[in-house]
Amino acid sequence: MLSLFGVGAVLMRGAGCTINDMWDRDYDRQVARTASRPLAAGDISTFQSLVFLGGQLSLALCVLLCLNYYSIILGASSLFLVITYPLMKRITYWPQLVLGFTFNWGALLGWSAIKGSCEWSVCLPLYFAGVMWTLVYDTIYAHQDKRDDIMIGVKSTALHFKKDTKQWLSGFSLAMLLSLCVAGMNCNQTLPYYSAVAAVGTHLAHQIYTLDIDKPEDCWKKFSSNRTVGILLFIGIVLGNLWK
């Protein structure tokens, strides 16, 4: 099941990136960091992108069909979010929130794939924690492009929060940690899990405290360091279950 979800995550994240690049090819040409993306640079055509996207979604469907019926319906229902979230930056300063709803669907799907349905007292706090985490790392990511975003008229939480970004990130991090604790309590998690949550909190606190929102290279470094958050949490969940 871990292998299926690993492949599925790569395929659906990849599909999301393909759709994002298709929607944003004209914007990407105007941003130095994204101007070299294949569609923006003209290296591939829109039709070629559609063919590639079709391949990604077809393979992802094969993965989804390996799961139970509940999970198939639940997984298929995320497609609307995958297709529409790249458009949100045009209409709201909160596209990172919609991205969070999209990227963390696996918190629901993983549980249902194993148990046959969702235990909402566990899945919803876990899902909410993931959404909060996405708001943290993608707001940091968005600070890289804020000057270009202002010029081309793209919205983001980075532009909305401005100099108050660290306070917002601190609030999102606290909400994430509390939600992880609630999810843990509702499924009888053990000491290794809560130790991992504490380590995640320490990492996020250091990340936010040392962040320089006006240095794109530092924003990229802090954004990338969130892989450590994911690894810590994954190890904590595995060891917490083994402790049982």
pLDDT tens-digit readout, 67-90: 999 999 999 998 899 888 888 998
The predicted model scores a pTM of: 0.90
pLDDT at 32 over 80: no
Task: Please tell me the predicted confidence (pLDDT) of residue 86.
Answer: 83
Over the stretch 135-181, which tens digit does the pLDDT of each residue have?
999 999 999 989 888 888 889 999 999 999 999 999 999 999 999 99
Asked if residue 191 lies in contact with residue 240, where contact means CB atoms within 8 angstroms, the answer is yes
Task: Please tell me the predicted confidence (pLDDT) of residue 82.
Answer: 86
Which residues have CB under 8 Å from 54's CB, separation 6+? none
Asked if residue 193 lies in contact with residue 230, where contact means CB atoms within 8 angstroms, the answer is no
Euclidean distance between CA atoms 70 and 109, whole angstroms? 9
Mean pLDDT of the chain: 94
